[in-house]
Every structure is written in structure tokens, then in C-alpha cells.
Amino acid sequence: MKLLAGNSNRALAEAVASRLDLPLTRAQVKRFADNEVWVTIDENVRGEDVFIIQSTNYPANDNLMELLVCIDALKRASARRITAVMPYFGYARQDRKTGGRTPISAKLVANLIERAGADRVLTMDLHSGQIQGFFDIPTDNLISAPLLANDIKINYDKPADIMIVSPDVGGVVRALAVASRLNAELAIVDKRRSGPGKSEVANVIGDVSGRRCILFDDMIDGGGTLCNAAQALIDAGATEVSAYVTHGVMSGAAVERVNGSVLKELVMTDSIPAPERALEGGKIRYVSCDQLLGEAIRRIANEESVSKLFD
């Protein structure tokens, strides 16, 4: 087995390699003068089981092209099996036609990864579970619920007054996975989306009065959804509101919006590297997913069950 790292999240790749007690494969992933991706694998990978660790976060197009070119390089170097390890799968938010003349970008990216030569995909908390069906190759979608639920257990005493909250109806299954592990009740924020990246709260479903609420979502982009939901929960009588999110996209003024909100704390995994300014306000904290990814990679390499990770 070999591990190859792109440039999107080098720190996470190194942490996974350390967990597996393996060195990262020697490679050069650079740019030509006009910013085209240039890749050279500096060691023999013929007949090897190779895992490429590369999220497709910002700059999404550059990181996606890096992944595709690395896959092509490995395929032409006669790697036995190529697994694209994408802790964060970009372009996942357009997963169906929501109106006339709109693309299904998630399917397009799935096609690109397959055509480049990947034999398997390993990702975490896809924006929509049905994206697994966009691939005609084996696709493992890890869930961060056990990782984040364990962090809640460690950092929150008196779990009886905790309530897990889904920031929208579409995230109920995801939030329920955490609530069931904590034996906690579930509430839902009825969110109405007026456009891409814009939302407003219509109602809070469930009695949150006097409860410590924990919002749980798959990603935070501009921060408007979580911050609006947190304010709605406080207005409905919650004593405090925190948020747990798998993917910290944190675009635009998201960091400043979170630090200026009623949120007590925002906890995210390191599937996307943390911007330096995110750690300065004191409200944002990161939990590493290196152990989860490392164990999944080990199980795939050894032909063991990945689903048993979540039993």
C-alpha cells in the first residue's frame, strides 16, 4: 500500500500517514508557469494499492485537476488499484436538477474521477447520500457522527439537558445519527432558502426552552444558515447554542460572522485545512479525522469491512 498526497490538505495526509506508520509516496505536484498542474511520481508504484488523499475544497478547480492528473499518472505507472480519498467532496451541492437549464455537477465530477482511472472512492459525509450512486465504482461514504459525538461526550457534562438540532429538514437523518449515539432529543429548524447561500428561519420544531442546543450539519460555507438558526434557538428559549460541522468551507466573511454570532462554539473536522484567521476569535475549534480516515484506508487495503467502523 502507498499513500500519495496532493496539495489541498497536506497536514491531514501527513497525519493519516503517521497513523498508518507509512511514509507518503515521493512525488512532485507542482504548477507550470501558466498554472497548469504538473505531476511526477518519484518512486515505483507498479502493482501497488495506492491511495490519493486530496480534498476538492477551495480552490476547487485547481484541487480537482490535481486529483485527476495524479490518478492519470498512477494509472499510466501501472498501479494495481487507485483509490481517491476525498475527505471533502466538492461540487456536491448541485446533486439534482432544481430548475430548468441547471447542471448536475456532482455527477459530472463523478464521471471525471472514473474516466481518469480511479478504481474506488473514499469520502466523508457527502452532502447528499445519493451521490454514491453517481459512481459506477465502489464508493465508501464515511460518517463523522461517531467522531463528533465522542467529542461532545468529552466536552459536555450533564448530557440530559442537551438537544441535538438539525439546521434544516434535509439534515434530519444526519443529526439523528448523533442524537441516537448521545441518547439525546432532536429538534429541527425549518429553514427556507431564497437563493444559493441565502436562507431564513421560518420556525423551530421542538421545545428547546431551557436546553443546551447543539446544531449539527455537514458543512458551513458562508455561515448564514448556522448563525440564523442559532439566533432562532436563543429566541425560542435555548440557554446556549453550539454547532458541530464536518466540513468547514468558511468562505467569504464566515469566520467573522461566526465570531459575531450567538454561537458559543463551532467545532469542525480538519477535512478542509483551517484558515489562520479561524483560530483567532476563540469560538472555532477543530477535531482531526485522521484516525477515522486511516482506519478506513487500512480496512480497504486489507479487504476488511468498512461499515463495521460505525456499528
**Known binding-site residue numbers for Mg(2+):** 127, 168
Cell numbers 440557554 label which residue? Answer: 239
Burial class (CB in 10 A: 0-12, 13-18, 19+), 239: middle
As annotated, the binding site includes 34-36, 93-94, 127, 168, 193, 217
Instruction: Using alpha carbons, list the distances in angstroms from residue 205 to 152, 168, 217, 242, 244.
Output: 22, 10, 16, 18, 19
As annotated, the binding site for D-ribose 5-phosphate includes 193, 217
Which positions ≥6 away from 70 have C-beta within 8 Å? 4, 6, 27, 29, 39, 52, 54
Cis peptide bond prior to 59, omega within 30° of 0: yes
Beginning with the edge strand found earlier in the chain, give each strand of the sheet holding 212-220 in spatial order.
Answer: 198-205, 185-195, 162-166, 212-220, 240-248, 266-269, 284-287
As annotated, the binding site for ATP includes 34-36, 93-94
List 191, 198, 264, 308, catalytic entry: 191
Largest CA distance in the chain: 61
Phi and psi dihedrals of 123, rounded to 5? -140, -175
Q: Does 191 qualify as catalytic in the annotation?
A: yes
**Regarding beta strands 198-205 and 185-195, do their DSSP bridges make them parallel or antiparallel, or are they unpaired?**
antiparallel
Active site residues: 191
